Amino acid sequence: MALPEYWWLLALACVGQALYFLRPDAFRRAPSRAPAWALAGMGCGGLAGLAYGLAQSDPLLVAGQTVVLAGAGLLALNQSPEEPKP
């Protein structure tokens, strides 16, 4: 099986989104605010996924990446601010 033409974009998308979704508190009922590195990983991974979908002319992947990025963006906007550390 050969690698797709833009396999590195797909790999970047997987790694970036894994940084966001595989953090320990990602699936708790009331997760704490996502750290900056997780949001940066999601942003880079989501944009790489969009670029891969556009390069491969895959409208389903583009739609899926758009929904994931919009959902993560809404979660980031609606999270409560971090509590000050003593």
Reported confidence tier of residue 86, pLDDT bands at 50, 70, 90? low
Which pTM value belongs to this model? Answer: 0.77
Closest CA to 37 of 18, 60, 56: 18
Residue boundaries of the structural domains of the chain: 39-78
User: What distance in Å separates the CA atoms of residue 30 and residue 13, rounded to the nearest whole number?
Assistant: 26
pLDDT for res 47 = 92
Which of 43, 37, 35 is closest to 17 using CA atoms?
Answer: 43
Alpha-carbon torsion, ordered 32, 35, 38, 41, to 10 deg: 150
pLDDT in tens, 2-13: 877 888 888 999
- Give residue-wise pLDDT tens across range 43-79: 899 999 999 999 999 999 999 999 989 988 887 787 7
